[in-house]
Structure 1
Amino acid sequence: MGKWFVMLSLAQILEALNLNFHANISILHESITGISIDTRTLQPGNLFIALKGKNDGHHYIKEAIKKGAIAVIVEDSFNTEDMTNTTYFKVPHTLEALKKIGIYARAQCHNTKIIAITGSVGKTTVKEYLKTLMWPFGKTVATQKSYNGSIGVPYSLAHLSHDSAFGIFEVGMNKRGEIAPLTQMVKPDIAIVTSIHLAHTEQTGTLDDIAAEKSDILSTLEKGNTAILPFNAPHYQFLKDKAARTGANIISVGTKQGADIQLIAFDTHDKGASIKAKVFDDNLSWEMQAYAKHYAISALFAVAAALTAGVALDKIKTMLPELKPLPGRGSIEKIKLRNGHIITIIDDSYNANIASMKAGLSILNAVKGKRKIAVLGEMRELGSQSKHLHEELGRLVSCTNIDSVFSCGIEMRHFNNKLQKIQLKGYADTIQNLYIPIEQELQNGDVVLLKGSNGNHIWKIKDYLMNT
């Protein structure tokens, strides 16, 4: 929706932090308009929290005040002598203060349906689809972008208000032990596991380890709550058994016979796909601007959660045509090059693991064009499995009809070794060194897939081509 419903007052912030107050007591009745941890996006009336990290938020306090922050939270060690006309809270650690505010805001939501989403792929897409389905039917707060870690989760929770109808929160992980404490903050009524795949294996270990970690999102469920699980996943039974031990209801989503919510048909055409599904005992069909089946699966996870949260299927049907791939996650657009050629860009450049790489390649295969070109960056944080998985990707691409491949990143050397030599048209450690070779390769009518881990900055090639 682009709008946060924030109504915590400064008195409630004071209560959440259990602190003494340094300001005129009359200001306590005023409500904040939002939480800010970045002065570049701060809005008047926001509460600014000076987090310490790569950039120390304390260096930006004057900027926050200048832009209209209603109050600031600083650490005890910060010198506040020149803040006599500013409302501020002093705490031992500002990140812990953010967590306390998030937990406090969540505790005020007695009638809010809280939904938590995790999974190796699809978290953000399901979250955005669910937000689209639900916001017309009640005040909805959702994770911004992919703020799903130790800062992002409490930051998102802090934007809840007592009259929020729905709260939708991503819960992510980079290493073992992260999901359980974040889930304790969220305390979801509905928990979704979208998928279990190899990702972040450098810190998470085996596929079984990843499944165990992801399953922690089910740990706070109670009788009457609901777990929505991936029926196709090899670890489905493991997830189902863990959910069952909590007494929660279980809904399965997938393509296989027996799923409670089953994708029946996904038929592509020039404008996307015609989709048919079974939703318990009802039939569901709609048109979608998407060329790969995983978008329909993400939509069905969102349908399952919206139904469970109390939105009627007839109302959900009215919003389904609004669902489409997100920017950086499979969005498709035509761009005109400076030589007059028009090409189609599939921007799936936000992130990458072996499962999402395969999904991206399926989009490239489905979209019609003169030639198929893949610009692929390395898959990061794979640890000891990196060589094997990059070689697997190379073997996969070598068996496709992709005409030209450009690869970026040190680990892609393993990928390159498994390609057909005629396919590989360029390799570099950084995407900037591929700008000119890619531009020279492109012909009118080509379809280009951009895919790689976010740190590869594969998306920059799109900016280059659009601005040259």
Structure 2
Amino acid sequence: MSELWNAQDIALATDGAASAPFAVSGVAFDSREVGPGDLFVAMKGETTDGHRFVEQAFAQGASGAVVSTPVDHPHILVRDSAAALEAMGRSGRERMKGQIIGVTGSVGKTGTKEALYLALDRAVPGKVHRSVKSYNNHVGVPLSLARMPRDSAFGIFEMGMNHAGELAVLTRQVRPHIAIVTAIAPAHIEFFGTEAKIAEAKAEIFEGLEPGGTAIIPYDSPHVAILYNKAERHAARILTFGMNRDADVHAIESVPARGGGTLVTAKLPEGELCFTVAAPGDHWVSNALAVLTAVEAVGGDIAAAGLALAEMPGLPGRGARRALALPGGEALLIDESYNANPLSMAATLKQLGSEPADRRLAILGGMRELGSRSAELHAGLAGALETGRVDFAVLVGEEMAPLADALDGVIPYAHVPDAASAIRLTQTEMRAGDAILVKGSNGIGLSRLVAALASDARDGDSD
């Protein structure tokens, strides 16, 4: 077991009291994720109390716990477990002497974070730490910081927000040397009113930059001026990326690659790089350019980054692709079920249109947190479905009613109330030769549809 924390260091970081000496190799606040050697942080939430699951955590192999009530196991007693986790995050950040990269954006932040991890890890294997899943909020960020080994060469942290001011708090915990904004889109616009306000909130990431830090911003964004103006106040260096040739890192050429993905020739400050992006779509070219900009900014291995981008697999819920065995052949399932906003919907539908297929099916769930513009933005997807050459659409949830109205007489569709109905309809409708895109806000539950179709394929393989 590689020691991440010991009882003495945890007590010192949290101003707590240790009941006994112990060492841990990991940190978790969800008892379901606790494994052998982990530290379980028992936090009190609005609906539950983590102290109820201390016994379960130790039964699963926990070596210690952070608690606000004494327990009959090795523990650190603190006043407030949530505050203790934040304190451990601050201490974890302080003791790590490598370079820290922060990533935010309306779309693409998780994919960019994962691609950047692979790009850097290829050059220094085992020395790169990153936040897992989408642990990007007021609890996930300190957890990810607390999980960072002190000898990491690089740390990569995703940061998200729903309201103004949230990102400013997170970035001051992360204290990045490099801060990236991937793109601006009307995600969470219910809470902001305009995209410009979203851009201002995303630009808060620059407030936490370390002295001498670098800001990386999307040149192609209509809100580049907002981002640039904010970056100028906090960054010693500003780098831009995009398709426009005036960007510091830009695509000179991008063409479909043989076997899928995109072959890109990119111009960087110190030269050019020809590489393949395994994930298909223009949005992934943009993500890749952001990754290369960050690798250049930290003085990393650009060639190794290009190789990593060529080999990067699709992420579950964010572009993973699977062949489904069906009578007479196979169908292609494209899993984009984790999240959705108007920009990402349009990008993935455009990519669907380029997929070689007998038919193209789009199973689209409603987009959440669009506020008063929800009807307008949903109806506005009609053009994207035409661009995507969609032959049949399954629209899921009440938010999709305006799009159903806009598609009347344009594209065949069915409007269903929930994911369960979508599963039944898709299982009946799909056939060999189809390309099937599944995309929607996570709350719609289309991941269940993906799981059901994948299960059908496994069952079919075993017959």
TM-score, normalised via structure 2 length? 0.93
Residue deviations 1:175-219, cap 9 Å, x none?
222100011100001000111111011223311111111011001
Q: Is the 8 A contact 1:5 1:164 kept in 2?
A: no
- Count of residue correspondences: 452
The reply on whether 1:39 has 2:31 as its aligned counterpart is: yes
Instruction: Give the C-alpha shift of residue 365 in structure 1.
Output: 0.8
Say whether the 8 Å CA contact 2:352–2:388 is kept in structure 1.
no
Q: Is the 8 A contact 2:216 2:241 kept in 1?
A: yes
**1:76-132 residue CA offsets vs partner (Å, 9 max, x unmatched):** xx4x3xx34x222232322111111101111112x2100000000010011000000
Aligned equivalents of 2:436, 2:180: Cα separation in 1: 32
Per-residue CA deviation, residues 302-329 of structure 1 (Å, 9 max, x unaligned), is: 1111222221323334433223432211
Residue number in structure 2 paired with 1:94:
81
Would you say the 8 A contact 2:118–2:305 is kept in 1? no
- Tell me how far apart the structure 1 counterparts of residues 160 and 441 of structure 2 sit (CA, whole Å): 16
The residue type paired with residue 178 of structure 2 is I
What amino acid maps onto 2:19 in structure 1? Answer: H
Is 1:277 matched up with 2:266? yes
Residue 80 of structure 2 aligns with an amino acid whose one-letter code is H
User: Aligned-pair distance for 1:166?
Assistant: 0.5
For 1:402 and 1:136, locate their aligned partners in 2 and report how far apart those are by CA, in whole Å: 38
1:121 maps to: 107
Deviates more, 1:126-135 or 1:300-309: 300-309
For residues 342-383 of structure 1, give each alpha carbon's deviation from its aligned partner in whole angstroms, at most 9, with x where no partner exists. Answer: 111111111000000011101201111001111000000111
Task: Confirm whether residue 195 of structure 1 aligns to residue 183 of structure 2.
Answer: yes
- Residue segments in structure 1 that go unaligned for 5+ positions in a row: none
Q: Distance in 2 between matches of 1:128 and 1:365?
A: 26
Structure 1 residue 441 displacement after superposition: 1.8
Alignment partners' CA distance in 2, 1:90 and 1:433: 49
| In 2, Cα distance between equivalents of 1:265 and 1:254 | 12
> Which residue number in structure 2 is paired with residue 104 of structure 1?
91
Which residue of the partner structure matches residue 312 of structure 1?
301
Q: Which residue identity does 1:136 align to in structure 2?
A: R
- Structure 1, residues 152-182: CA drift from partner, whole Å, max 9, x if none? 1000000123211100000001222210001
Would you say the 8 A contact 2:353–2:387 is kept in 1?
A: no
Identify if the C-alpha distance between structure 1 residues 314 and 405 changes in structure 2 by more than 3 Å, giving closer, same or farther: closer
Q: Counterpart in 2 of 1:9?
A: 6
TM-score (norm 1): 0.92
What are the superposed Cα offsets for residues 272-315 of structure 1, whole Å, 9 maximum, x if unpaired? 22211111241111223232011121112111112222213233
- 2:49 corresponds, among 44, 51, 56, to 56
Q: What secondary structure is seen at the aligned counterpart in 1 of 2:119?
A: helix
Aligned residue in 1 for 2:310: 321
The separation in 1 between residues aligned to 2:277 and 2:296, in whole angstroms, is 20
Q: What is the identity, as a one-letter code, of the residue corresponding to 1:184?
A: R
Residues 1:141 and 2:129 aligned together: yes
Does 2:18 align with 1:21?
yes
> Post-superposition shift, 1:437?
2.1
Task: Please say which of residues 268-277 and 243-252 is displaced more in the overlay.
Answer: 268-277
**What is residue 71 of structure 1 aligned with on the other side?**
64
DSSP-derived class of the 1:137 partner: coil
Report the Cα distance in structure 1 between the residues aligned to 2:154 and 2:14, rounded to whole angstroms: 25
- CA distance in 2 between counterparts of 1:289 and 1:316 reads 12
Deviation beyond 4 Å, 4+ runs, structure 1: none
Structure 1 residues 281, 90: closer, same or farther in 2, change over 3 A? closer
Structure 2 residue matching 1:124: 3-state secondary structure: helix
Letter in 2 for 1:19: G
Do the aligned partners of 1:232 and 1:254 also contact (CA within 8 Å) in 2?
A: yes
Paired residues of 1:114 and 1:189 also in contact (CA < 8 A): yes
Partner of 1:258: 246
Within 2, Cα distance between the matches of 1:439 and 1:45? 43
Task: Provide the identity percentage.
Answer: 35
Q: Cα gap change, 1:415/1:9 in structure 2, threshold over 3 Å: closer, same or farther?
A: same
Q: Offset at 1:259?
A: 0.6
Equivalent-residue separation in structure 1 for 2:173 and 2:270 (angstroms): 35
Letter in 2 for 1:168: I
Q: Which secondary structure state, in structure 1, belongs to the residue aligned with residue 316 of structure 2?
A: coil
Q: Equivalent residue of 2:232, what SS?
A: helix
Q: SS at 2:393's partner residue?
A: strand
Amino acid across the alignment from 1:61: V
2: CA distance, partners of 1:173 / 1:236: 19
User: Contact (CA 8 Å) 2:407, 2:413: kept in 1 or not?
Assistant: no
